[in-house]
Structure 1
Amino acid sequence: MARRAGVEAVRAAYDAHAASLLRFAVALTADRALAEDIVHDAFVRLHRASRPPAAGAEAAFLRRTITNLVHDHHRHGAVVRRLAPAPRDPAPSAETTALGGDRARAVASAVVALPARQRDCVALHYFAGLPDAAVAAELGISVGSVKTHLHRARAALTVSLEDHR
């Protein structure tokens, strides 16, 4: 019976948070298909968690899990590129194309190219809509660090997107 309650809790969390978590994951990966897989894996991990988060903390648990899964994916990709370099020309997702074509692809690529901590802060603040204090709590850093990372990320994005103004 406890397992059934877990399924219902996961289903309720999915209904409440899946859409915003998918937007968050797309912001981190710039790849809708990969983002969908990562969000799915995060919900599987929520269901299998030996110590599930407290009621009301599911969204934070899922965002942190998604962030970790994206970092794992990027690390794995770096190893693969080092071992077997191959030309890479990823096709843009339908969502990215629908959101504005070249400019949206440029923004997504620029965000993905940011250092991991800056990318996490940008995704949590701008795409997940969290205030600085919530981003700090989510990442386990100070609010000042969040502000610094956001400032540096905005500066880097301004430079990298200069041609798209």
Structure 2
Amino acid sequence: MPKITPNLWFDTQGEEAAEFYVSIFPNSKITNVLYYGEAGPGPAGSVLTVDFELDGQPYTAINGGPEFTFDEAVSLLINCADQEEVDYYWSALLADGGQESQCGWLKDKYGMSWQVVPTGLDELIGDSDPARSQRAMKAMLGMVKIDLAALRAAADGR
């Protein structure tokens, strides 16, 4: 089966964004940078694409111009092991101009949407006890950054 690589469209900040992302995630690196030639359409010598990996997952950033921008229809989900990881990624991705949203969603300074979610959220929201599940869901809907301890407390009726 062929590998599927998400291709992220930027105006001109693809390399800057890739450097930002690889600085946040462990086991990450930039693997290749291609430049526009004389044929364009970008200025000769400027960055065309940046191939990079985030913890082994390949991505490509393309500097394609201002025609397309990110929106919430596509987001990258970070499955965090615990609250400490949630706090780390939340803070790192909001750095230098990111925007908080709700229910664990944020936009980084480049406009990319992320879901920062702790392990255990699915079990709480999908609990077989409907009352417990609904209490957890109601609590989550009132959160910006997910607080797993508060969700557990809500699910337990505390």
TM-score after normalising by structure 2: 0.33
Structure number with larger C-alpha Rg: 2
TM-score after normalising by structure 1: 0.32
| Larger RCO (alpha carbons 8 Å, 6+ apart) | 1
